[in-house]
Amino acid sequence: MNTPSNAVTEPDLDAHVQAPAALSATRPLYWSVRRELWENRSVYVAPLIAAALFLFGYSISTFHLAKRVRAAMALDPAQLPASVATSFAMAATVIIMTGYIVGIFYCLDALYGERRDLSILFWKSLPVSDLTTVLSKASIPLVVMPLLGLALVFATHLAMLLLSSMVLLVSGLGVGMLWAQRFQMAMVLPYGLAVHVLWHAPLWAYLLLVSSWARRTPFLWAVLPPLALGVVERIAFQTTYFGKFMGYRVFGAMSEAFDLEPGSHRITRLSQLDPLVFLVTPGLWIGLIAAAALLVAAARLRRNREPI
């Protein structure tokens, strides 16, 4: 009578025993990412401050919002949506650019700092591989900061919308155009942010590689070699191929992922999003392969580098 019950319960016990083993592969990476956030509060504090300061400044500017809207409607009503959208685009730019600046300094100090303060001796004593550590540090500019920036931009835009709507309604003006414009940006912003994360992946990996290699002043080691290479090419061959390549690597995502009008970088309609063309762009996949190779090289350097 007990045989069937044993046959049923034994697989359940095995499943409970095997579940932690399956989850244990991701736990070192999870806790490593949490450690990075504990030790680098500027990752989320700086964008929060930028969003708060911009929202404070925008709240003051709303005292003249109704006057500006009436003036724009009197001159050219067709230009009203673009003029109102400028402040929202500026808010997104300020928050995301703050994240980029923090990300640059974070990456340059991520692997260099632990060798400088000798904390690498402690972290290497833990059962966490060098590759896991490097991936956790790479996840900050590639995953954590973009998601945080996106959430902050949406929250800031919502606060700006509510504040602007209240001011315009009190002044007897409509708010439908304002909300319609924000809906379009809400569709464009996640796509544009994802595009730039993928496109800039090799740049973040390069900064981490420099951080794992440099014995001092990683910022100079990250900037001076590419700059010197561009100068030498210009002097020796009278060409600027390397400079154009670097410009394409930094700013090329817009031209590859969006169907932009000639001489314009403004996204005015959703039909300008071109994800299929972006996904078949050779520069995207070459960059991702290069990023993977640079991260593996950074992990190997971390394994062999001694404390400073």
pLDDT in tens, 95-146: 999 999 999 999 999 999 999 988 888 888 888 899 999 999 999 999 999 9
Q: Provide the pLDDT confidence category of residue 220 given band limits of 50, 70 and 90.
A: very high
Residue 69 and residue 81: Cα distance in Å, rounded? 10
Contact between 208 and 137 under an 8 Å Cβ cutoff? The reply is yes
Q: Which domain holds residue 184?
A: 35-304
Distance of CA 193 to the CA centre of its chain: 7
263 vs 163, residue with greater confidence: 163
Please compute, for residue 202, the number of CA atoms within 13 A of its CA located in the half-sphere on the CB side: 15
Please give the pLDDT value at position 6. 47
Report which of residues 78 and 218 the model is more confident about. 218
Higher pLDDT: 248 or 188? It is 248
Q: What is the pLDDT of residue 179?
A: 63
Query: What is the signed CA dihedral for 225, 229, 235, 238, rounded to 10 degrees?
Result: -150
Q: For tokens 């154009």, what's the residue?
A: 244
Residue 173: pLDDT band (50, 70, 90) is low
pLDDT at 201 over 70: yes
CA distances from 283 to 138, 151, 194, 201, 232 (A): 20, 28, 15, 12, 25
Q: Is residue 97 part of a domain?
A: yes
DSSP state of 215: S
70 versus 225: the higher-pLDDT residue is 225
Q: What is the pLDDT of residue 98?
A: 96
Residue 240, pLDDT > 50, answer yes
- 13 falls within a domain: no
* Residue 127: predicted pLDDT: 87
pLDDT at 24: 62
Structure tokens at 203: 């740049």
The answer to whether position 268 is within a domain reads yes
| Mean of per-residue pLDDT scores for the chain | 83
Residue 232: pLDDT above 80?
yes
**Number of domain units in the chain:** 1
CA–CA gap between residue 163 and residue 107 (Å, rounded): 37
Confidence class of residue 81 from pLDDT cuts 50, 70 and 90? low
Q: Is the residue at 140 inside a domain?
A: yes
Query: Bridge-partner residues for 273, per DSSP?
Result: 258
